[in-house]
């Protein structure tokens, strides 16, 4: 059965090209604006959305944020240009995007990405049909499922947080902010962080973009491979579009924060991250990061004992991955 895919772009020529190319692979729906796309979603079931970022009236970020709230099961992909950094960061922090695709996109890579998104949708639906009773969404036309409630953070045992930063003053600050509510672990090197991860059940990892000679995104990708239940957050003073794209496509980051952070906002987002970890721990079979890895990775792989070996194997996997 063909996947139903909604492409949203304000350039009619692009939509026509997409329809001509992909019509034989998917059931294609197109819309020139976010509002027209929402009208389609109100009466049509789709598995994947591919939306451009820059559109009149409603940006791709705004549109996909609404889609996340109304149709959370649809897998969302954002097509973006290199001038959209602030909006891309906002999308990371609010839109729960499956992939970022930078313009100009490549036909083969785009198809591979949409195929993987459709497979992810199918896997999640198959698992949920076995574990949760279906319920109607707001519009009545889309089927989603009722999530199993997880106790609020305050009713759980204290969770373990890991902060990785070369700055000792920054690590001290983390202890002061979060030490009363969580078990706080700190590391000033990737090697030390890797050792802590082997000792404790970490709920949330907060990492810099560069840790000594170790690329922070590579490190986050290693953690994603070995510990899919850990929720990764990047907190850095670096604002970069390539970094943002890698954070989603390689690291599947939860949040991308720029220093200096507002304490109240950061504490609030940390609570959300811990809650996400609790949800994954309660129902690991519904961890979409884990499902995605199982779709594209070799089964039964052994976890390397050293960070350098983990980094090497993760980089090899990323270089060979399908899609963006």
Half-sphere exposure of 274 (CA within 13 A, CB side): 23
Task: Read off the pLDDT of residues 76-115 as tens digits, 9 standing for 90 and up.
Answer: 999 987 667 787 788 888 867 899 998 888 889 999 999 9
pLDDT of residue 250: 85
In CATH, what number does 4-145 get?
A: 3.40.50.2300
Task: Read off the pLDDT of residues 283-304 as tens digits, 9 standing for 90 and up.
Answer: 888 888 788 877 776 545 566 7
Task: Read off the pLDDT of residues 153-212 as tens digits, 9 standing for 90 and up.
Answer: 444 579 999 999 999 999 999 999 999 999 999 999 999 999 999 999 999 999 999 999
Mean per-residue pLDDT, 216-226: 89
Domain boundaries defined on the chain: 4-145, 153-320
In CATH, what number does 153-320 get?
A: 3.40.50.2300
User: Which residues have C-beta within 8 Å of that of residue 74, sequence separation ≥ 6?
Assistant: 41, 46, 47, 48, 49, 67, 121, 142
Quick check: do 4-145 and 153-320 share a fold?
Answer: yes
- Note if the pTM is more than 0.85: no
pLDDT of residue 142: 45
CA neighbor of 249 nearest in space, from 99, 141, 116: 99
Would you say 91 and 64 are in contact if contact means Cβ atoms under 8 Å apart? yes
Task: Read off the pLDDT of residues 226-284 as tens digits, 9 standing for 90 and up.
Answer: 888 999 999 999 888 888 888 888 888 999 999 888 999 999 999 999 999 999 888 88
H-state helical runs in 42-189: 60-70, 85-94, 107-131, 168-178
Task: Read off the pLDDT of residues 112-163 as tens digits, 9 standing for 90 and up.
Answer: 999 999 999 999 999 888 866 544 444 444 444 445 444 444 445 799 999 9
pLDDT of residue 156: 52
pLDDT of residue 30 exceeding 90: yes
């Amino acid at each position: 059965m063909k996947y139903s895919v909604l492409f949203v772009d304000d350039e009619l020529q692009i939509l026509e090209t997409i329809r001509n190319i992909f019509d034989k692979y998917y059931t294609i729906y197109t819309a020139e604006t976010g509002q027209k796309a929402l009208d389609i979603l109100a009466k049509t079931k789709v598995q994947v959305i591919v939306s451009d970022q820059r559109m009149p009236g409603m940006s791709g970020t705004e549109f996909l944020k609404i889609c996340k709230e109304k149709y959370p099961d649809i897998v969302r992909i954002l097509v973006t240009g290199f001038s959209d950094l602030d909006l891309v960061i906002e999308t990371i922090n609010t839109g729960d995007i499956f992939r970022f695709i930078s313009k100009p996109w490549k036909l083969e890579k785009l198809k591979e990405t949409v195929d993987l998104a459709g497979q992810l949708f199918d896997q999640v639906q198959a698992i949920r049909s076995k574990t949760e009773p279906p319920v109607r969404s707001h519009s009545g036309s889309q089927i989603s499922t009722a999530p199993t409630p997880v106790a609020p953070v305050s009713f759980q045992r204290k969770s373990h947080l890991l902060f990785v930063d070369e700055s000792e003053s920054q690590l001290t600050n983390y202890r002061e902010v979060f030490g009363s509510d969580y078990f706080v672990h700190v590391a000033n090197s990737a090697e030390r962080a890797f050792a802590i991860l082997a000792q404790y059940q970490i709920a949330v990892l907060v990492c810099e973009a560069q840790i000594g000679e170790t690329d922070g995104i590579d490190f986050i990708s290693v953690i994603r491979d070995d510990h899919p239940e850990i929720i990764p957050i990047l907190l850095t003073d670096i604002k970069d579009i390539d970094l943002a794209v890698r954070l989603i496509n390689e690291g599947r980051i939860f949040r991308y924060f720029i220093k200096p952070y507002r304490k109240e906002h950061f504490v609030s987002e940390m609570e959300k991250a811990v809650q996400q970890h609790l949800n994954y721990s309660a129902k690991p079979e519904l961890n979409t990061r884990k499902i995605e890895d199982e779709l594209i990775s070799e089964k039964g792989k052994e976890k390397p004992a050293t960070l350098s070996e983990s980094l090497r194997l993760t980089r090899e996997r990323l270089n060979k991955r399908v899609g963006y």
